[in-house]
Amino acid sequence: MSNQDVDDRREYYRIEDMIALDFSPLSEAEALSSDPLHDNSPLFNLLSDLNLMDIESQHLLRPISERDRTLASYLKVMNKRIELLGQALAQSLLRDIGEPRGVSISEGGINLSHDQALAEGTCLAMRLVLMPEALGLLVRARVVHCRAGADGRFDIGTEFENLTEAQRQLLARHILQRQAQQRRQARGEE
């Protein structure tokens, strides 16, 4: 295990998860750019924006609920309706991105299995749909290791780069929810 792997394991909690994932290498100019990534899929961009706006508006709902419970309840219902629309969008996107697959994910990056090797240092644009909430994220990641596996596939470790605070919060919330769900399932099996 490399020092990077050890450091990553200490800094972030890692979970095994099933997510829809698609990625492509970035050109050198795109890799060096600090501009946000954009996807060619309007549906994916819409899903991603819906999720980020939800995170960015969470702090606004608390003071409203303290002053006006009826309005806060109405806004929560509207938010649920928007979440349902987002889940419908995600189902359409799964046809483009592919079926969910097993990965190891943390706030710091993703480890995945892939049929082709990727050079260390390669910068990637990754489209993630975190299930079952259907959270869409377009993130920049760099390959930190690529190892041949026994099955002819490659174990690829990536590290996220330039995450926005909202993206980091979405990842953290998803990981905490999945961790709690996995613990509940483990207790149920005992």
**More confident call, 158 vs 10:** 158
Amino acid identity of residue 160, one-letter, is: F
Alpha-carbon separation of residue 79 from 104, 107, 186, 187 (angstroms): 30, 25, 31, 32
pTM above 0.95, yes or no: no
Nearest Cα neighbor of 52 from 163, 141, 177 is 163
DSSP type of residue 133: T
Q: Give the lowest-confidence range in 37-41, 48-52, 107-111.
A: 37-41
Average predicted confidence (pLDDT) for the chain: 83
* Nearby residues of 161 by Cβ (< 8 Å), 6 or more positions away: 123, 139, 140, 141, 142
Q: What are the chain's domains? A: 14-189 (2.40.10.220)
What's residue 6's pLDDT?
Answer: 47
Tell me: the pLDDT tens digits for 124-175? 999 888 887 778 888 999 999 999 988 889 999 999 998 888 888 889 888 9
What's residue 189's pLDDT?
Answer: 73
Range ranked top by mean pLDDT from 4-18, 28-42, 44-58, 153-167: 153-167
What's residue 138's pLDDT?
Answer: 87
